[in-house]
Amino acid sequence: MSDLLLTLKAQERRGSKPRCHLLTHGSPKTVAARLTGLVAPYANVTASDRWMPHGFAELQEAQLHKAPRLLNPELGAQLRGWWLPPVRHDARTPNFDVASTCTINGAPGLLLVEAKAHAEELKNEATGRSLTDNSSADRRASHVTIGHAIESARIGLVAATQLPWQISRDSHYQMSNRFAWAWKLTDLGIPVVLVYLGFLEAGEMADRGEPFTDHNAWDALVKAHSAPLCPADIWNRRWFVNGVPFVPLIRTVEQPLDPEIEL
């Protein structure tokens, strides 16, 4: 096992998580080229951009309401206020597997990546956000604000694309919140590329679910999963929210767990 993987917790050393750290590990020029490869020709990442996580040196994933490396704190506060109630004490927002500043249509933007390494990772996310009789008052309060936030995004995406959208807090919650956050950033004037990334040949995950052997398998799975939320036509093209680009992409990459690391 690579010494790099030993910096992660034992349960984090296989699947999509270590591959995301490997994707962002190396010199700024090398990482920028990898990330640009995921999003070309819609966006460009340069060595002067910033990303989270930062390889194995900074392991934290991005919660955009508190990620000054990526967004200024004023925008972060607007995102928090949109998603969470003021009384929420343990404030958390969705974690993005990889997030990076970039250039989209000549303007500063954000690249957001949701990554999976086997089919069940996505299939298991058809449920809504959970709320039980034992849920805390904070969770109950945020359940309401999150519902309103996703509904505002749904309405906005319908207006932007002239297509039906059914993103919801109560079904396919993770993909719904990814689309909602992408929409909100564009609503705030920040271009976004949202990538659903499938890591190919993650054979060590076969005990959990079927690994992806080619792009077509991942593409079909993402479109089947997103079908209750939006038409397949939304993928792999540029849309505009009040003139601001929003680009949802389906991509694959093979990232060995014990590669010859290019620094």
> Can you give the residue ranges of every domain in the chain?
5-253
Tell me what pLDDT residue 90 has: 65
Tell me what pLDDT residue 89 has: 61
130 is written with which tokens? 């959970």
The residue assigned the tokens 């640009």 is: 36
Task: Yes or no: say if 87 and 141 are a contact pair by the CB < 8 Å rule.
Answer: yes
Contacts 24+ apart (CB under 8 A), 80-87: 82/145, 82/149, 82/152, 82/184, 83/142, 83/145, 83/146, 83/149, 84/142, 84/145, 84/146, 85/141, 85/142, 85/144, 85/145, 87/138, 87/141
The full length of the chain comes to 263
Q: What is the pLDDT along the chain (263 residues), one digit of tens a residue?
A: 578 999 999 999 999 999 999 999 999 999 999 999 999 999 999 999 999 999 999 999 999 999 999 999 999 999 999 999 987 666 789 999 999 999 999 999 999 999 999 999 999 999 999 999 899 888 899 999 999 999 999 999 999 999 999 999 999 999 999 999 999 999 999 999 999 999 999 999 999 999 999 999 999 999 999 999 999 999 999 999 999 999 999 999 999 997 655 44
Tell me what pLDDT residue 88 has: 63
User: pLDDT, tens digit, for every residue of 141-198?
Assistant: 999 999 999 999 999 999 999 999 999 999 999 999 999 999 999 999 999 999 999 9
Tell me what pLDDT residue 260 has: 57
Q: Where are the beta strands (DSSP E) in the chain?
A: 51-52, 62-63, 95-96, 98-104, 107-116, 192-199, 239-241, 244-253
138 is written with which tokens? 């904070």
Q: How far apart are CA 207 and CA 200, in angstroms?
A: 15
Q: How high is the mean pLDDT of the chain?
A: 94
Tell me what pLDDT residue 92 has: 87
Q: How far apart are CA 65 and CA 35, in angstroms?
A: 22
User: pLDDT, tens digit, for every residue of 147-163?
Assistant: 999 999 999 999 999 99
Q: How far apart are CA 211 and CA 255, in angstroms?
A: 13
Q: How far apart are CA 103 and CA 40, in angstroms?
A: 11
User: pLDDT, tens digit, for every residue of 121-138?
Assistant: 999 999 999 999 899 888
